[in-house]
Amino acid sequence: MRIAIVTGASSGIGRAFVRRLDKALVLDEIWLIARREGRLRELSEELRAKGRVVPLDLTQRESVRALQDLLEVEQPRIKALVCAAGFGKFGAAADLTLAETDDMIDLNCRAAAGVTRVCIPYLEPGSQVLEVASCAGFQPLPHMNVYAATKAFLLRYTRALRWELAPRGVKVTAVCPCWVKTEFEQVARDSENGAAVGRCTRLAQSPQTIAAWALTANRLGLAVATCGPLSLAMRAGSKLPSCAVMAAWEGIRRI
């Protein structure tokens, strides 16, 4: 059975990846993973391939084990894996609750690495792996401190994973967009100091653009998909001293 697995499939970038993969690949099933089961069922009804709804809260460790158990039963061939589940919160580290801090690290780091780990045995030559990081991971960002740090972890994890899986013919890409038109900002501002980052999202890209750009980069064998000029500029800027980047960010975030 040929499948694709997409986490964070209920909205935003994950949902865009599902639709793009459904058109681009010949698949028997697409496994849709997220907490919001209703949204997953709606999405499954519009797909060419069978959409298997797998409602899991990946901040919970037992959810990754449940996915591992399902894989062991089904023994699929994973043609594409997209880890798009994640969220951020605006505000200094001291502004965030312990739960917000823990959940960001759990979902953005532990869950992504855990889901990838349990899927690795089912990848084959030609399989695609895309880990949705962020251009925030290129440098430290005050008032997006924890979020940026989690994406730095995912970026470096993915770069090393690419080397590890290359001998098997598996293509691995870290997806590093800048602002995207999703629910991210709404969730990020729902914090004690959500106004710490200004309304600097006017140049946000659509999730469909990000998914298309990222899949093209993966097919070309690129390690990182910057997904646009702003992301590319932030990647280039990360070569500067961190203190200079953070000083520039302090001005930008107040816009």
Catalytic residue IDs: 147
Task: Kindly tell me the sign of the dihedral angle through the C-alpha atoms of 58, 61, 63, 67.
Answer: positive
Q: How far apart are CA 84 and CA 134, in angstroms?
A: 11
Q: Which residues lie closer than 8 Å to 51 by C-beta, 6 or more apart? A: 18, 29, 30, 32, 40, 43, 44, 45
Q: From CA 210, how far away is CA 206, in angstroms rounded?
A: 7
The answer to whether 196 and 91 are in contact (CB under 8 A) is yes
Determine how β-strand 171-175 pairs with β-strand 2-7.
unpaired
Residue 139: its H or E element: none
Phi, psi of 83 (to 5 degrees): -100, 95
SS3 state at 77: strand
**172, β-bridge pairs:** 129
Do the strands 123-132 and 77-83 form a parallel or antiparallel pair, or are they unpaired?
parallel
Q: Any residues with CB less than 8 A from the CB of 42 and at least 6 apart, and which?
A: none
Residue 74 phi/psi, 5-degree rounding, is -85, -30
